[in-house]
Amino acid sequence: PLMAIHVAPASLFATVGILLGYPTLAAAFAVFALGLVVLLVARATWLLGAGFSPLWGALTFPTAAAATASILALGQGGLYIGAILVIVASALNSWVAVQVLKLWAKGQLGAKTNAATV
The answer on pLDDT for 94 being more than 80 is yes
Question: Would you state the pLDDT for residue 52?
Answer: 87
Residues in the chain: 118
At residue 114, φ and ψ (nearest 5 deg) are 55, 35
* Apex 30 CA angle, 26 and 31, nearest 5: 120
> Model-level pTM?
0.85
Contacts of 63 (CB under 8 A, 6+ apart): 4, 7, 37, 85, 88, 89, 92, 93
Name the packing angle between helices 23-42 and 75-106 (round to 10°). 50
Tens-place pLDDT, residues 22-39 = 999 999 999 999 999 999
Domain ranges of the chain: 2-112
Question: Would you state the pLDDT for residue 118?
Answer: 67
Determine which of 3-7, 16-20, 105-109 has the lowest per-residue pLDDT on average.
105-109
